[in-house]
Each structure stands twice: as C-alpha cells, then as structure tokens.
Amino acid sequence: MAAAEALLEVRGLGMRFGGIVALDDVSFTARRGEITAVIGPNGAGKTTAFNCITGFYRPSAGSLQLTHADGRGFALAAMPGHLIARRARVARTFQNIRLFAGMTVLENLLVAQHVPLMAATGLGVLAILGLGRYRAAERHAIAKARLWLERTDLLARADDPAGALPYGAQRRLEIARAMCTDPVLLCLDEPAAGLNPRETAALDALLRGIRDEGCSLLLIEHDMGMVMRVSDHIIVLDHGRKLGDGTPAEIRADPRVIAAYLGEDEEDADHLAPADAP
Amino acid sequence: MSQRAPLLDAFLSALVALGLFAPMVGLETTVGVHGIVLVPRPLAVAALVGAVFVLRLAVRLWQARRPPAPAGAGAVRIGRAWAGMGRFLVPVLLAAALLMPWVASRATIDLGVLLLTYVMLGWGLNIVVGLAGLLDLGYVAFYAVGAYAYALIAENTGLGFWSCLPAAGALAALWGITLGFPVLRLRGDYLAIVTLAFGEIIRIVLLNWVSLTGGPNGIAGIPRPTLFGLRFTMTDDPGTFAGFFHLVPSPVQRQMFLYYIILALALLTNWVTLRLRRQPLGRVWEALREDEIACRSLGINITTTKLTAFAVGACFGGFAGAFFATRQGFISPESFTFMESATVLAIVVLGGMGSQLGVVLATLIMIGAPEMFRALADYRMLIFGLALVVMMVLRPRGLVTERKPSVTLGRGAAAIPAALIAEGHG
C-alpha cells in the first residue's frame, strides 16, 4: 500500500428523519488507494451514510470533505447530487440493483458516459447534423465500455437487455457502469448480496483490481468473509454511531464489535457493554 | 373449475347487464300529448339480458374446454409478426405517403393532411411520453402556442409562413421549458394533473385575452404558405404558382402543396427523433424513463434532461400548430381543447410508447378509420369502443412494443421485449 493519505474525511456526520436519528456524530476517514468497508447490523445507518456521501441525502450535521490526488477539495455535503458524481467523481451502486432494465448492457455503459459524450455533441445540434467530433467520442466511449465488459465478463451479453441478465451479472454490470464514470471513489452497497461463492471470489479479484488501479473503494457488505479478505480498513456502525474502526485483525479482536455484530450471545453482550462504556 | 362457476359468472354478468340496460334501454322517452312520457320496454331489456347470459356462459364453457394458454403468449406471437412486418411496412407506408396526392381525390388529400398532422403531433408527444416517460396531458397547449404565434406574428409584421415557422417552434419550446420548471419535482398522477391544467390555462387565456387573440372570435385571414414566394390562388398572375409554371389554376395544387409541407414537417420530426435516440441526449431520456435515481448517481443533470425533452417535444408541437393555422386560415380557442391532447396521447399509447411506427399505425386506426367509416354513423363509436377493449386484452402495451437498441457491438441485436421496459413514472 502506498503512503495512505485521506481521500474522504467524514466529520461529525449526523442525519435525522423527523425524530429518528439515523446517524449520530459519525467520523471516519477513507484513505486513498484502500478498500474501506462499512459494516454493522441491519438498521445501523450504513446505507444512510452512503446516501449522504453520494448526495442523495443532505446531512443534518457534519462535514464530508473529499480531496482529489491533485489537491482539489470538495465539500460534498453542500453539493447537488449529480455534481458529486460529475465533479467530485464519487460513483455508487445500489443495494437494490438499479440498472436501466429496458436498455442493453452496452447502452447502460454509454449512459454512464453521458457527460463527456454530451459535451462532444455540440449541444446536440451538431451531432444531429452528423457534424463535430461526436463520432470519435462515441468510438472512445464504446472502447471504454468494451474494456469494462471484458473485466466484468459480460462482453458476450453486451447487446442483451440489462433486465434479462442473471442476478450476479446485473451486480457486475452495475459496478462496470459506475466505473465508466471514471470515479476516484466507488461506493458499493452490498455488492456480494445474492452471489454464489464462485461469483464472490471473482468479485474479490475485481474489487482488488479496481483498487490497485487507483480508484479507492467504500464498501457496505454483510458477507464477513469477503469483508475480511478484501478490506484494508473497516468501520463498524451500530444504531447510527461508530462502534469501532481499524484493520480487519483489530476489528476481529474488538469485543464491542463482536458483541454488537459478529454474533456474541445476548447475555455476554450485556456483560461486555458496561465494562467498555466510557 | 366447478360445474357451477360458469353458470354463476353468467348470472352475475346478466345482473350487471340488467343494471345497465334497465334505465338505458328499458325506459324510452317519447313525446306524448302532455309532454314527455316514459314508455317501459321490458321485452327489449329481457332480450338483451338473456343474450348477455347466453354469450357469457358460452365464453366460459369454451374457455373451460381449452387448456389455458400461458399469459401473454399470444401477444408475443403478434409482436414478432409486427417486428418482421416493420421492415417492409416502413418503405411501403413512406411510398404510399409520397405518391398518394397524385392519385387520390381532394377529400382523400384533405384526410391525408389531417392524418399527417396527428402523426406529427404523435411523434412530438412521443419524445416526452414515450422516450422520457413524462406523462403530459396538456400537449395541445404547445400546438395552440405555435398556431397563435404564427397567426399573431404574421398579422402584426406581415412575415410569411416560412419566416414565422422557426419563431413558432421556438416560442412553443420556450413554453415547454416554462411548463417544465414547475413540474420537475412532480411524478406520475401529479405531473399529469399539472400538465392537464397547463393545457387548460393556455386555452382559457387565449379565450379571454380578447385584445390580443380576438377571444372566442379567433383570428381570421391568416396568410397561406408560399412556394419560394409563389402564391397559390385561383388566378394565373405571374406571382402565383399556376402563373409561373403556366398551369391551369386549381385548388388541388394548393392542397397538394399543404400535404407535402406537413409530410416534410412530420418526416423532419421523425428524423430528428430517430437521430436523437441514437445519441447521448435521446439515450439519456430513455435512461430517465428507466430509472431517475440511477441517472443522478451517474452525474446526469435530471433538471436539464427533463427540460430538453419538454422543449424538443413542444417545439414540434409548435411547428404543427403553425401549419394548422396556415392550413385553416382561421384559428380560435375551440380547436385547442383537452380532447386534442387526449387524442394525441391515445395515439402514442395505442401505438406503443416510444415507437415511431406505432404512432403511424395508431393514427391510421384512431383518426383514419373513423373518417373512412363515416357512413356507419353512430355505430363507429360502438366499434371503436369494442376495438379498444380488444386492444386492452391482446396488446395492453400498444401495437409496437419492442424497443430497438440504439447502439450495438457489431452483431445484430434482438429487439427488447416490452416486459423489461419501464413506462416511466413522472
């Protein structure tokens, strides 16, 4: 791992819906070139944190500071959702897969490259008349789509409707689509859910490959085996608060985490909690 | 199925028929000596109710004898037939449209102009409803804006049809954006209601702003289009079409000219739509229809995307409106009622949302057939209703439901079945 500098700094993140506190004073740092996993039981606030980072929710409190490798900083909490993807280059996938089901696999990947493609059409007018540099831009976009189709093993299904793909392939396509936006941070919401062990192993390799090429990852996952295998850093949430933070080995050894999440008996958890309370 | 189920079902159907026919058929109003009197007709009601009972029973027994077909199998088969037919249906329709005025009667050319106007409106609305998935019930507003824009500009500046046409389209597009802004956050039913209201607002403003629009009296004497400055009149002066080409002046010449104008405008609409579909803008409209949230996660600005769909759709509506004004020579708010919006929307939905060929076929059925069968008088509405019911059973997603991919990786790609395609939600 290269000298790990901060990519995303989350400070005092809070999110409340009416009287319900979904996130309360959560702070963590995702470092550049690492896979950072966010784990926690159902309802811990993991997806809410993702929605705050990717601009689908506006946080009630706290700051989200993203820093690119060239030093440019983005205060995500104040940016409109589509600009977070466009300028700050944060891409995401969804817990319930959100593909363009009635469009082909290739079309899905071209929609992901809409922003550079649209810029090449001259406000759409030149491209209608067949002028301008649109053709070259489209060739380039298709080449990039083909690259990601090869890496996600979907090339043979490029012209099939996305909605007709098997579940595992849809998950991979969503990752390919997100990667086609050239992100610096890729947020994956339960990418291994519903995958068989062979598919999960392939996903491991894909995620490591993405990380090694310079795109950092933020990962929500319930598959503990996978989290422990691929993560460089793990953050544990429970009931909207951060419970722990560390390397996989540290997390595995943290009694509070074990109590809250990794399946200690109810009785033991009660026994542990007062001892560790501040 | 138990033996009694068909009987019970037939009995219930007969009961519904009784409820409907007893007041509608059972009581005849006739003019008597002391005013209108009601004459009961129990026999007619009994005959109708009996017929419903027997027919329903027959249908149920026939269904019971047949093994049930997998749902939608018939629709898929018909769909494939359409897809195969589409390949040579398009050139045939195009050739027919190009040659028709040379062989047809004046009345048929007139009908052709009417049909093409609706085809153009259908193609324009198809951008908003079929591609972007935004349900617009007020499309007639843009038609009206285009018509009044041309009429008023021509009246006040003396410019001709061709100079005013771009302005009419641009003004309609501007109103499309104006409508787009407040409704950006609305979806589904709410969007439909606001667009419906927008259509009515435009009509009521046109009706009441008497000093500008002439109110219910409308605007008359709208200039007719010219061919490079050549007028179409019944004289053969040098400045007229007949005079310039040394022809005998005839009203058919102007009619054919109008026909080819609307054909060209409609084909322009189609061409732009087909080009846009294969380009980022059109593709992102369809992506918006499929999943708005996913679009946002990809950095797509949903606001401008929706506004472009409204603007482009409205612009073609405006062109069609300007043509309508120049063809009629007279416009009034009465031509721009909600019925027009509903008809155009019905064409788009019947054709299959997003399908260009579907719009043409649906126009032939919705507008062409009732005109052709005028001789059948009131029965054509009955047949029309029946045809709608048959459509809902056999092809609930419209005539042409498959979607052709806008880009492929070389090898020929199959059409995408309707079941996978979203219908949009706002």
Tokens of residue A193, six digits:
């859910």
Do A188 and A272 reside in the same domain of the chain? yes
CATH code for the domain in which residue A43 is found = 3.40.50.300
Best mean pLDDT range from A71-85, B116-130, B347-361, B391-405:
B116-130
Tell me what pLDDT residue A261 has.
Answer: 65
How far apart are the CA of B116 and the nearest CA of chain A, in angstroms?
23
Do A235 and A257 reside in the same domain of the chain? yes
Residues in chain A closer than 8 A to B131 (CB atoms): none
Contact between B330 and B223 under an 8 Å Cβ cutoff? The reply is no
Strand, helix or coil for residue B30? strand
Residue in B290, B320, B321 with CA at minimum distance from that of residue B147: B321
3-state secondary structure A47-77: HHHHHHHCCCCCCCEEEEEEECCCCCEEEHH
Put simply, the answer to whether B281 touches A115 (Cβ < 8 Å) is: no
Q: What count of other Cβ atoms lies within 10 Å of the Cβ of residue B94?
A: 14
Over residues A149-173, the mean pLDDT reads 91
Do A199 and A75 reside in the same domain of the chain? yes
How far apart are the CA of A74 and the nearest CA of chain B, in angstroms?
15
Do A160 and A208 reside in the same domain of the chain? no
Residue in A188, A186, A190, A152 with CA at minimum distance from that of residue A169: A152
Looking at per-residue pLDDT, the higher value among B82 and A166 belongs to A166
Do A43 and A148 reside in the same domain of the chain? no
Give the span between the Cα atoms of A178 and A188, in whole angstroms. Answer: 9
Provide the residue type at B214 as one letter: G
| Positive or negative torsion for Cα A188, A191, A193, A197 | negative
Residue in A162, A161, A170, A210 with CA at minimum distance from that of residue A194: A170
A99: left (phi over 0), alpha (psi -120 to 50) or beta: beta
Tell me what pLDDT residue B72 has.
Answer: 47
Q: How many helices (H) and strands (E) does chain A have?
A: 12, 10
Mean pLDDT of chain B: 85
Residues in chain B closer than 8 A to A94 (CB atoms): 293-294, 297
Nearest CA in chain A to B294: A98
Contacts of B8 (CB under 8 A, 6+ apart): none
How far apart are the CA of B297 and the nearest CA of chain A, in angstroms?
6
Q: What is the pLDDT of residues A214-262, one digit of tens each?
A: 899 999 998 888 999 999 999 999 888 998 889 999 988 888 887 776 5
Put simply, the answer to whether B286 touches A103 (Cβ < 8 Å) is: yes
Domain assignment of residue A34, given as a range: 1-89+183-278
B30: left (phi over 0), alpha (psi -120 to 50) or beta: beta
Do A22 and A70 reside in the same domain of the chain? yes
Residues in chain B closer than 8 A to A189 (CB atoms): none
Distances (CA, A) of B234 to A39, B103, B237, B261, B318: 84, 22, 9, 20, 29
Over residues B363-383, the mean pLDDT reads 79
Residue B184 has pLDDT above 50, yes or no: yes
Tell me what pLDDT residue A35 has.
Answer: 94
Nearest CA in chain A to B284: A111
- Looking at the domain covering B76-419, what would its CATH class be? mainly alpha
Give the span between the Cα atoms of A124 and B300, in whole angstroms. Answer: 15
Residues in chain A closer than 8 A to B298 (CB atoms): 85, 91, 111-112, 114, 177-178, 181
Mean pLDDT of chain A: 86
Q: How confident is the model at residue B78 (pLDDT cuts 50, 70, 90)?
A: low
E-strand ranges in B156-261 read 219-220
E-strand ranges in chain A read 6-17, 20-31, 35-39, 61-67, 73-75, 90-92, 185-189, 216-220, 233-238, 241-246
Contact between B45 and B18 under an 8 Å Cβ cutoff? The reply is yes
Contacts of B237 (CB under 8 A, 6+ apart): B243
C-alpha distance across the termini of chain B, in Å:
42
Tokens of residue B93, six digits:
């329709």
Nearest CA in chain A to B420: A102
Do A73 and A203 reside in the same domain of the chain? yes
Contact between A140 and B291 under an 8 Å Cβ cutoff? The reply is no
B193: exposed, middle or buried (Cβ count in 10 Å: 0-12, 13-18, 19+): middle
ipTM above 0.90, yes or no: no
Looking at per-residue pLDDT, the higher value among A32 and A123 belongs to A32
How far apart are the CA of B412 and the nearest CA of chain A, in angstroms?
8
Contacts of B18 (CB under 8 A, 6+ apart): B45, B49
- A–B: how many Cβ contacts below 8 A? 135
Residues in chain A closer than 8 A to B293 (CB atoms): 56, 94, 98
Of the candidates B295, B297, B420, which has its C-beta nearest A102's C-beta?
B420
Residues in chain B closer than 8 A to A84 (CB atoms): 299
Q: How confident is the model at residue B83 (pLDDT cuts 50, 70, 90)?
A: low
Put simply, the answer to whether B407 touches A110 (Cβ < 8 Å) is: yes
Do A214 and A264 reside in the same domain of the chain? yes
Of the candidates A56, A128, A181, which has its C-beta nearest B272's C-beta?
A128
Give the containing element (helix H, strand E) for B36: strand B35-40
Tell me what pLDDT residue B127 has.
Answer: 93
Of the candidates B276, B406, B420, which has its C-beta nearest A107's C-beta?
B406
Q: What is the pLDDT of residues A113-126, one digit of tens each?
A: 998 888 887 766 77
DSSP for B15-26, written as a single string = HHHHHHHHHHTS
How far apart are the CA of A107 and the nearest CA of chain B, in angstroms?
7
Task: Name the DSSP class of B28.
Answer: E
- Domain end: A151, A182, A213, which one? A182
Give the span between the Cα atoms of B261 and B239, in whole angstroms. Answer: 20
- Domain end: A182, A208, A233, which one? A182
Residue B76 has pLDDT above 60, yes or no: no
- Whether residue A94 is contained in a domain is answered as no
Which chain B residues have any C-beta within 8 angstroms of a chain A C-beta?
272, 275-276, 279-281, 283-284, 286-287, 289-291, 293-302, 308, 403, 405-409, 411, 413-414, 416-417, 420-422
Do A149 and A199 reside in the same domain of the chain? no
- Whether residue A155 is contained in a domain is answered as yes
Per domain, the residue ranges of chain B are 4-65, 76-419
Do A274 and A190 reside in the same domain of the chain? yes
**Structurally, how many domains does chain A consist of?**
2
Do A48 and A121 reside in the same domain of the chain? no
Do A208 and A119 reside in the same domain of the chain? no
Over residues A80-101, the mean pLDDT reads 91
- Domain end: A163, A182, A201, which one? A182
C-alpha distance across the termini of chain A, in Å:
34
Residues in chain B closer than 8 A to A121 (CB atoms): 279-281
Choose, out of B407, B408, B411, B420, the residue to mutate when testing the contact with A (most A CBs < 10 Å): B407
Looking at per-residue pLDDT, the higher value among B396 and A130 belongs to B396
Over residues B41-69, the mean pLDDT reads 84
Residue in B236, B228, B222, B218 with CA at minimum distance from that of residue B261: B228
Residues in chain A closer than 8 A to B407 (CB atoms): 104, 106-107, 110, 138, 142
Tell me what pLDDT residue A12 has.
Answer: 92
